[in-house]
Structure formats: structure tokens, C-alpha cells
Structure 1
Amino acid sequence: MSIGEFRNVKARERFHAVYGRLLDQLWSAPRDTIDLPTSFGTTRVHRAGPPGPDPVVLLPGANGNSLMWHRYIAPLARHRTVIAVDTVGEPGASVQRAPLTGAEDGARWLEEVLAGTEATAAHLVGCSYGGWLALGHQIHRPGRTAALTLLEPAGFADPGRRFYAWLIAGGLAGTAPRPLRPWLARRVGNSAILETELMELGRASIGFRRALPPARVFSDEELRRVRVPSLFLLGERSALHDPRQVAGRVRALVPAADVEIVPAATHALPTDDPELMVARILRGAVV
């Protein structure tokens, strides 16, 4: 199995020029930047807020990185240590050296990241693929996680034509002239296209070849092993899955879980309503 990497030096340099500029522009709190060695390569994390063993750890969705959380850093860092992760194998500042072959490898990678930050009671916050990684970690490597907040987590349905159509429509809408984007965002149901800087970063990452395992659907037995307090936040208009079906399954299998279906929200939940998401993350954390 291959690893995620840039196609050539030029593509890597182009991406990192944009990444570095936007990190300085968008990151709204004092930060430490750390490169953590893991079995799968070097993982870049950015840390803000007061030190402590119980950080809020932010995991991005597929083809994303720590910058997707830029609106979350300052309000969360006022209360807790915040660690924003560039997932190994995604376009970011991490460097993958070995392939991840499934959820168990993803859990091992995340366990090594948490150990490297000396977290012993982390509050994992995962969006989409990041939510799948967070759940996989709790299933396969429990112990360092005290709570989960999952925004539109993958792992409850195989992506179908509707989801890929949503991705394509959002990508095309993101290239439209800026005055048209608010209308297009409502039309295609993707608020992320209004994040001009993230759209620029996405275009800069076109030269990256992603090679991570698909987010396979979790079994009932696996979900029963999730024992920590967990908040599942689902978009009413999600293109990834049927939120009511997901909510029913979670309520039946995960006793410590709360589920909220956010009215009118889509799979782009982190950009649909950042203030609401910050409030829900803080509600799930012990502050």
C-alpha cells in the first residue's frame, strides 16, 4: 500500500508556501508547533492555551489539516489546551513514512500522537474522517481519551453517489467568483466554500496524493465498546448518511452517547455554525 505524498518538489513547495502564510494569518492565539515521531511518520501539531494533561485534540476531515479549525482555536484555548493535528497522510505539514492499512493502524498512530503530547485524558474532536479516527482510537486503544465530540463522523455509511456529487458540486462552486459563492453555498449545501482561505489551501493541495484507508462502517460490536461520554453532532441535511438512522443506531449501541441533529446543517457542519460547535465542544469538556 502506498503513502500520502506530494507528486513532486514543486507541488510540495507550492503547498507549504500557502500553508505557512495562512497559518500565520488565521491562527488567532499564541502557539507552539511540534513535530512528533510516530510509527507512520512525523506528525505536525499546533498547540495553544494553558498547559494540561486533558487537551482538546482537533482532528480534521479527509483532505484537510489543522487550519480547518482556525475559527475554533481562540475560543477553545481560553479554557483548555488545544492541540490541532495535521493527520499523517493528509495534505498538511506531517510527513508519512509508512502506510496505514485500517482502523487499527489509525488508532495506533493517534495513540502515539497523544502519548507524544503527554495527554492522559484527552477530549477528541473529530470531523468526518477525523471522527472515524477518533472512534477507532477509542475502540482499539482506549485509555487516553476522556470524551469524544464527533462532527458528522464517517463510519456509519458507505459514501454513495449523493456524497460524491456533493463533493464535486462544492469543489466547482469554490472556484466561482466570490460574489456568487453565498448563493452557491446555499444551493449546493456547502458552507465551506465561503472560507476563502481554506479554498485557496485546497487548491494548493491538488498536487497531493492521498493514500489512507477508507472509513469502513463500524460494526455493532465495535460501537458497543465506546464507553466514554460522547457527543454525536449530525447535520440534518447531511449528504454522507441518513442522520436519523445514525442517531438511532448510536442511541441503541453507545450508552454514554448524546446525539444532536442540527437543523438545516449539512456535512460541512464545522463551517455551518462554528459558534454552536464551540459551545457543544466546551459542553462536552470538563472546564
Structure 2
Amino acid sequence: MRIPDRPSAFTNDSARDKYYAVYDRLLGELWPVPVDAVDVQTRAGSVRVHRAGPAAGDPVVLVAGAGGNALAWYRYIEPLARTRPVLAVDPLGEPGRSVQRRTLATGAEVGGWLTDVLAAFGAERAHVAGFSAGGWTAVWAAAQQRPGEGGRVAALTLLDPGGFAPITGRFVRWAAAGAVASMLPRPLRHRMADVVNNGLLRDDGLVRLGRAGGWSFRRHVLIPSPYTDEQIREVAVPVQVLLGARSALHDARAVAARLADVAPSWRVEIVPGTGHSLPVEAPELAAERILSFPAQERPGTAAPNHNSNRR
């Protein structure tokens, strides 16, 4: 695993300020409910968290993937915040209003900054939802908890997550095609969404944000490496995994088959008609799955196996 040699950062102050201007404008345009912005000091830097919803209750914590931040979850905020506190996080190492000050050299360190955020909010039973690399971060935060010892992560929802198969050239080509297509005029970009299998290209706001930081932010992050079977078994909280049927990140059916064997208590669902951009391609379904998981269970009962391909 290649260890980053420096923290991620904008290339200069001017680039950072231009990005923040777009970020703040889109936050005002896209965010559907009142929100409080909080900066949390963690072991590796300052993390921006946008809080919405009721003051009390176990929070839903949203962690975006590579190149993303809290704004990527704008479609989720209103349905989730009706009943639950919501903490949408700008991940360390990604473009946003978080400021990384130390490199993150291991998966445990990546999960550690998220644990620091949960501690700062006093979260004892958080439901953490992570997309792609954000799912990798969430798993590492949960993996450091031990059965019977309690912890701040109570459940995980992983949306087409990294870490369950090696990253291949297919995914690199998919990401590069999306980056090129994002620079096209809007009508052509929308048409290209189907051609390159990337529904994000139809989201004008998020594309505008990506353009603002795409060339002015230098990412120095760990590349998610595949978990061993033992590492998967060490996750001691209920987990559900939503996989894009056409994902370029991995073979969804192969990942589902592996998890059925290694972690039969995990709920695994392959979502038809979606690719790696599952969170923007099926936001209503994903939000519903977050709110309904895990089912209420009596203490001491094991979670059932919910491996499925259903929508």
C-alpha cells in the first residue's frame, strides 16, 4: 500500500477561496433544511460537519467518497432529518471545508478521525453510511470496536463501497471518462451519462462543485486495499451493503457471493440499473434502506441473513 507523503490540500489560497465560494453557494441552493456547520478538531485535522434534524437521538452520519464532501448527500438530508439527527461530513483528504494537517498512513488512522468526530458529538450509537472510499473509512471506524465493549458505531450502511475487491484498470478508466465528460456542455454531458455509465454527470450542482476543485486540489490519500476475510469478520455491528449492479469498481455478484460466505449476517443487496454512482442514481431507495436498518431486534439475537438482489 502506497503511504501518502503529505496531507491533501488546495494548491494555493486563491484556489481554495474560489472553491469555497462555489461550495457555499451550492450549500445555500441545494441544502433543503436548516443546518448548523461545526468544525471538529481531530487527530489529523479539522473536520467540517453539517448537522441537521432533531437535537436528540442516535445520529445518521454520512461519509462521502473520493472527491466528495457533505454536499454529495443533499438529496438525503430532508428524508433522514425528519426523524433522526444527521451529521454530513467533509472527509479529511477530500476537497471541502475540512483541513487535513497529518497524513493518514493506515486504515486504522483513517477510521480514527471519524471516531474523533463521533466522540465530539457525543454519539454512542451512530448509524454510519459511507459511499465508496467513505464506506472504507466507516468500516475501519467500526472494526476498531470489539464485541461486548461498546462503541460509537452501532450500524453501517455501505453504498457501493471500496475495500471488497482490488481496484482495477476498469475503474480507473471509468473515473477518467467521467472526469472528461464532466467538462462537456450540459446537454452533451447528460447524454454521456449513459454512455460512460455515470449518473453523477446528470447532477449539475455536484458537477459544478467538482469542476471548481478538480484541478486545484491535490489528494494524497490511501488507496483502499481489499479487506481480508478476518478483517470482515471482525466488524461487530450490523452491516448492510448496497451494490450497483453495473458498478465499475467491482463485480457486484462476486462481492455479494464473498460476503454471503464470509459474513452471512450482513444484508447485501444488488440494486438493478445502478453503477458505482448508486447514491445519486437511487437516492430514494438508499435513504429508505438507511432509515429501516437495522430492524429492531431483541438484545442477544443475531441479525438474519438478508443477502438479496431485490430492488
Query: TM-score category by the smaller chain?
Result: over 0.9
The aligned residue for residue 203 of structure 2 is 195
Name the SS of the counterpart of 1:125 in structure 2: strand
Give distance in 2, aligned partners of 1:276 and 1:15: 31
Q: Does 1:220 align with 2:229?
A: yes
1:181 CA displacement: 2.7
1:108 CA displacement: 1.2
Given that residues 107 and 141 in structure 1 are in contact (C-alpha distance below 8 angstroms), is that contact kept between their aligned partners in structure 2?
no
The aligned residue for residue 144 of structure 1 is 152
The aligned residue for residue 185 of structure 2 is 177
1:130 CA displacement: 0.3
The aligned residue for residue 74 of structure 1 is 78
Q: For each residue in 1:240-265, what CA deviation from the matched residue of structure 2 results, as whole angstroms up to 9, or x when unmatched? A: 10111111111222243100001121
Which has the larger displacement, 196-205 or 179-188? 179-188
1:273 CA displacement: 1.2
Given that residues 227 and 254 in structure 1 are in contact (C-alpha distance below 8 angstroms), is that contact kept between their aligned partners in structure 2?
no
Q: Does 1:48 align with 2:84?
A: no
Q: Which ranges of 4 or more aligned residues in structure 1 deviate by more than 4 Å?
A: none
1:53 CA displacement: 4.4
Letter in 1 for 2:81: A
Name the SS of the counterpart of 2:49 in structure 1: strand
Name the SS of the counterpart of 1:175 in structure 2: coil
Q: For each residue in 1:107-156, what CA deviation from the matched residue of structure 2 results, as whole angstroms up to 9, or x when unmatched? A: 21111010011110000000000000111111124511111110000001
Gaps of 5+ in 1: none
Name the SS of the counterpart of 1:238 in structure 2: coil
Name the SS of the counterpart of 1:105 in structure 2: helix
TM-score, with length taken from structure 1? 0.97
Name the SS of the counterpart of 2:167 in structure 1: coil
Q: Does 1:8 align with 2:12?
A: yes
Given that residues 238 and 294 in structure 2 are in contact (C-alpha distance below 8 angstroms), is that contact kept between their aligned partners in structure 1?
no
Name the count of aligned residue pairs. 287
The aligned residue for residue 281 of structure 2 is 272
Q: For each residue in 1:229-286, what CA deviation from the matched residue of structure 2 results, as whole angstroms up to 9, or x when unmatched? A: 1110001101010111111111222243100001121000001111111111111156
Name the SS of the counterpart of 1:72 in structure 2: helix
Given that residues 227 and 256 in structure 1 are in contact (C-alpha distance below 8 angstroms), is that contact kept between their aligned partners in structure 2?
no
1:43 CA displacement: 0.4
TM-score, with length taken from structure 2? 0.90
| CA RMSD across the alignment | 1.3
2:93 to 89, 110, 113: 89
Gaps of 5+ in 2: 297-311
The aligned residue for residue 255 of structure 2 is 246
Given that residues 60 and 85 in structure 1 are in contact (C-alpha distance below 8 angstroms), is that contact kept between their aligned partners in structure 2?
yes
Give distance in 1, aligned partners of 2:113 and 2:263: 24
Which has the larger displacement, 179-188 or 81-90? 179-188
Give distance in 2, aligned partners of 1:83 and 1:216: 26
| Percent identity between the two aligned chains | 48
The aligned residue for residue 209 of structure 1 is 218
1:7 CA displacement: 0.7
Given that residues 192 and 271 in structure 1 are in contact (C-alpha distance below 8 angstroms), is that contact kept between their aligned partners in structure 2?
yes
The aligned residue for residue 167 of structure 1 is 175
Q: Does 1:135 align with 2:144?
A: no
